[in-house]
Amino acid sequence: MNAHTVTFRLPRLGTLLFGLVCMCLMTACGTVFHGSLQDVGIGSTPTGARVTIDGIFCGESPVLARLTRKDVHQVRIELDGYLPYETKLVRRASRWIWGDIMFGGFPALVVDALSGALYKLTPDQMQATMVGQTALNELDGGLLLAVVMRPDPTWEKIGEMQALR
């Protein structure tokens, strides 16, 4: 009878570590399916306002901005003749956290938290209604009084307000 020898080789440490890292990445549901970036729509009424996010000009409204999910973002919308509109986009835990907990456990949570895929920016759409810098008041006799920060150069100036002492 012939004897056969069966030899098993244990994988090298590098191969084991590589496999472990791949397994962790594949179980991070948010990173795989949700991604670390999010598109946020920003509009204004009227349109054409300057949109800056985190101090960087992004274009004139309407704008579709691709932003990192892991950061809080400061949005500023400006249009000549209107008061500036400012708000923050904040991060909240996304529903993909449940996939991490059920299928990936702690390693998946860590991967998604580091990549930002664990979060969702809110609001994901925003519409700024710009408020003019003009205060109007109709006085007796049909005279319309307008107080503005920047007057239109075509207007006829009939008076000027003075500070009280």
Instruction: Specify the higher pLDDT residue, 23 or 72.
Output: 72
pLDDT at residue 39, rounded to an integer: 94
Work out whether the CA dihedral 42, 44, 48, 52 comes out positive or negative.
negative
Phi, psi of 47 (to 5 degrees): -75, 170
**Got the DSSP string for 79-108?**
-TTB--EEEEEEEEE-THHHHIIIIIHHHH
Summarised one tens digit per residue, pLDDT across range 82-99 is 889 999 999 887 776 666
DSSP 8-state symbol, 141: G
pLDDT at residue 135, rounded to an integer: 54
Summarised one tens digit per residue, pLDDT across range 129-145 is 888 775 555 566 666 66
Domain ranges (residues) in the chain: 14-148
- CA distances 13 to 18, 27, 115, Å, are 9, 21, 26
